[in-house]
Amino acid sequence: MTAQQATQSVPRNGWAVVAAKEFADHLLSVRFFVLLLVLGLAAGIPLYLAAERIRSLASDVSGAQAVFLALFIVGPQDVSIFGLSVSVQGFIGLAAPLLGIAFAFDAVNGERAQGTLPRLVSQPIHRDDVINGKFVASLAAISLVLLAVVLLISGFGLLRLGIVPEWAEVLRLILWFVVTVAYVAVWLAFGLLISVVVHRAATSALVGFGIWMLIALFGRFLLNLVLAAISPVDSSAPVQQALSTFQFHSFALRLLPTTLYSEASSVLLNPSLTQTSVPATLGQLSQAQQQIPTLLSLDQSLLLVWPHIVALVALSVICFALAYIRFMREEVRA
């Protein structure tokens, strides 16, 4: 067989073949149903607890805008976890990264432990089709889980509470779903990177979930401690200097993917939010204090969170690129 014939025998869409096989395995796995149940409960419990509050809100402001979005941002009163309000948005932001890590922590090292990785890369496909297909399949499976949960919550609002969404609310919900998938992609790429670097699946799971817990639960607290030591806030300092300090703290907190997602999802689901950062100048502060409360249009909200979306995509690309390079350079022996 000539080199040209050998090249032609390799399918161009080898990643799609791998993705289809991995996606089918995910749908039939116990992991898929367990995580679907966990995420469904994580989103359903706060919605059920806040049902009466949302119903009263809908009846009090009947005909107002963004009432349907209250299904995702309103939680039960006097209930909090780690100081955060319990809502569907908060629970999904806390639990969705678990899906990314759970679907990726053994993607490569699991094949290596079973001895199937050499046979997999010896198939008539390009080597990068393996890691590309695994990433696409896992992201598709997670997106399916998230879509099922969002549809379940929307159906609950329609049937149980009688709240009918407007088209603007539907578009906001679709954009929020896209941002959530991008947020999960960051953790999925990170889990894939750990799976390539760490050779034992149990160790990669421990590392992945440990880092998730450190960032998601204690990230802001630890970063605030560091910022307080590096750049403390002086109450006696001039207003402009205090604003600069707060602006620096706000920028540093956005290095966390949890902060990026939290701000982006809050703006998309709550049209009344008109800013995501501390004003940088006295003029901007004065304008913010004098601003009349209003609801932003969808394009205005999208302009506010566009940098957040780009940052989330960039983080996922960086993590996946590192995993891709490491996998392509890795020695695979039978």
pLDDT of residue 66: 58
Among residues 145, 139, 140, the alpha carbon closest in space to that of 191 is found at 139
- Would you state the pLDDT for residue 312? 93
* pLDDT value at residue 226: 77
Can you give the pLDDT at residue 11? 56
At 299 the pLDDT is 87
pLDDT of residue 140: 93
Dist CA 270 CA 72 (whole Å): 10
Q: In which residue ranges of the chain is pLDDT below 70?
A: 1-12, 46-66, 75-86, 160-161, 231-252, 276-294, 332-334
Separation between Cα atoms, residue 10 and residue 104, nearest integer Å: 26
Q: What is the pLDDT of residue 276?
A: 65
pLDDT at 202: 84
pTM: 0.82
Q: What is the distance of C-alpha 191 from the center of its chain?
A: 13
d(CA 72, CA 303) in angstroms, rounded, equals 21
Sign for the CA dihedral angle at 56, 57, 60, 61 comes to: negative
**Stretch (H or E) spanning 80:** strand 80-81
Q: What does the pLDDT read at residue 233?
A: 62
pLDDT tens digits along 134-177:
999 999 999 998 898 888 888 877 776 677 778 888 899 999 99
